[in-house]
Structure 1
Amino acid sequence: MRDELTAAHGAAAPVPAGPSPGRSVLSVHVGDLYGGTTRTFRADTPHRAASTMKMAVLAALYRSGADLDRPVPVHNAFASAAGGTPFGVDRDGDSDPGPWHALGSERSLRWLAGRMIIHSSNLATNLCLSHVGLEAVAEVWHLAGARHSVTGRGIDDLDAQALGVVNLVTAADLTRLLCRLPQELLDVLAANAHRVDLAAGLPPGTRIAFKNGWFPGVRHSAGIVYPHDAPPYTIAVCYSGPLADGHDIHDPAARLLARISAGYWAQRHAIGAEHPH
């Protein structure tokens, strides 16, 4: 990916904010690993990204050429995409205490990248993003063939958010990105500790390299599933609406994503058969 993945988006350009609050919108994109689409439903509808944008940050970090084992300072002050006063991550809204325990010390970029994906650390995400920059993440989206997804700001950059700068993804773009990730990064995604959403709809022990994300009003999950008896397939489900209550596990939207995942698992032998390679 390092050799394959030009900035496609302005760092602080306002973009559409996704579905309107209170309206339920579901998007699904399922296909093989070669870009062949076998099942799709509103797959190009933009949604607020939640933590799924962390996959693009991970890809940008790994293709940057940075020494991932070099220790870097762990801090909580970041330049806003809107300019002006630096901002910090809300500790209470972060799912991972690990990087917070390291504040004031140093950790490697590789360690931070792992916390960003495996434990979905918001602080680690902004630290990784600060080392690669928004343009590098835009380049990842562009070279993956993304049509509507954009990472315009860091997490909790409220000044930029107030100006209309948001992070957006689509189900189709998330699967396009997954198909371009090298095995090393898929292995990181496979270690995701949050075994809910798509993972919860699969038989126990089924390998899935995936990232999920949620906050009140949003629930997404995208990954590559590796059945033992069928070819791997990509699946991305994005939901925006009142079913998403923001809880990590006991969320009605999480159960919805799990049911959708189980439904496509039952069709796994057909997925990709219409587009043989």
Structure 2
Amino acid sequence: MIFAGLDAHLDRMPGTVSAYLASLDATPTWTRHPDTTHYAASTMKVAVLVALYRALEAGRLAPDTAVPVRNEFDSAQPGAARFSCTRPVHTDDDVWDQLGGTAPLCWLAERMIVRSSNLATNLLLDQVGLPAVADVWARAGARHSSTGRGIEDLAARAAGITNLVTTADLAALLRGLARGATRPGPLATPESCAAMLDILVAQEHREDLAAGLPAGTRIAHKNGWVRGVRHSVGVVYPDDAPPYVLAVCSTGDHPDHRPDEDACQLIADISARAFAHRHRLG
């Protein structure tokens, strides 16, 4: 087993590290706790993106829709007060600068992915609705992942409503997009899948999965992080081998466990090892 040594190393680490590695058309080469649920962080934004493109295809939304940019949202907890996002430091300033005005729907989708904008995510969730995101997970074949609330919906979180992912489900979602770009599939048309992959390729946060790859390697990916949590999932397109999907979720036992830079390095190391074995993933 090409990852036996890595499994032994991860077994000695505190916290939980899950992983799923497979070519696009084969059974997985390596899995580790693939059905263990983790708090989703920003990886759930891929499912929101797919829900948006499905709404565009169905004509329920138009690409040039001008979305009012506000920072007040309905809670997923019935009867709870409306909630707001906290403006982060040095991140998605472009979206926050539009407060009080409007922004194009598809521009918000891009900012949700390439800069991981939480404000853009909640604005898009308002447009597509949580049931549409649940439908995306079901279409991808996800078994344990769910998107129950918007970001920073504290009342819903206190009520136990949360967002969960597994590496198996994240891999299924990204694999569905990659396969769907070349032939009709359950998520969206080939044109829409290709467009979503292009957005994921433009991801600007490249300090985990992408950091483990040779410079210039194409990867369509999305990561997510909060204190004690670092996840990343992507489709890698080597120049000399078929594409493959890799998902890694790392969750610490407590908020001070494994600083983010260490978790990034761990995921980069796993990514580098997967790339080194790219010819044996079929």
What TM bracket, shorter-length normalisation?
0.7 to 0.9
Determine whether 1:212 maps to 2:207: no
Q: Cα offset for 1:23?
A: 5.3
Alignment-derived partner of residue 196 in structure 1? 207
Alignment-derived partner of residue 19 in structure 1? none
Determine whether 1:120 maps to 2:116: yes
Pick from 140, 156, 160: which aligns with 1:160?
A: 156
Alignment-derived partner of residue 246 in structure 2? 235
* 1:186-242 CA distance string (max 9 Å, x none): 111000001110000000110000000111110000000000000000000000015
Determine whether 1:149 maps to 2:145: yes
Alignment CA distance shift 1:79-1:94 (3 Å): farther
Alignment-derived partner of residue 259 in structure 2? 245
Alignment-derived partner of residue 4 in structure 1? none
Distance 2:15 2:73 in 1: 33
Alignment-derived partner of residue 50 in structure 1? 41
Gaps (5+ residues) in structure 2?
1-12, 178-192
Q: Cα offset for 1:265?
A: 0.6
* 1:91 counterpart SS class: coil
Do the aligned partners of 1:215 and 1:245 also contact (CA within 8 Å) in 2?
Answer: no
Paired positions, count: 247
Alignment CA distance shift 1:151-1:252 (3 Å): same
Q: Cα offset for 1:97?
A: 1.0
Percent identity of paired positions between Structure 1 and Structure 2: 54
Alignment-derived partner of residue 275 in structure 2? 265
Q: Which deviates more, 206-215 or 91-100?
A: 91-100
Q: Cα offset for 1:98?
A: 1.0
Query: Which structure is higher in helix share?
Result: 2
Alignment CA distance shift 1:190-1:133 (3 Å): same
Distance 1:233 1:157 in 2: 34
Alignment-derived partner of residue 73 in structure 2? 78
Structure 2-normalised TM-score? 0.85
* 1:34-74 CA distance string (max 9 Å, x none): 35211111111100001000000000011013112211100
* 1:67 counterpart SS class: coil
Gaps (5+ residues) in structure 1?
1-21, 273-277
Do the aligned partners of 1:31 and 1:37 also contact (CA within 8 Å) in 2?
Answer: yes
Alignment-derived partner of residue 29 in structure 1? 20
Do the aligned partners of 1:23 and 1:240 also contact (CA within 8 Å) in 2?
Answer: no
* 1:269 counterpart SS class: helix
Distance 2:26 2:65 in 1: 36
Alignment CA distance shift 1:269-1:175 (3 Å): same
* 1:153-172 CA distance string (max 9 Å, x none): 00000000001111000001
RMSD over aligned CA atoms reads 1.4
Q: Which amino acid in 1 is paired with 2:160?
A: G
Distance 2:226 2:70 in 1: 24
Determine whether 1:105 maps to 2:101: yes
Do the aligned partners of 1:243 and 1:253 also contact (CA within 8 Å) in 2?
Answer: no
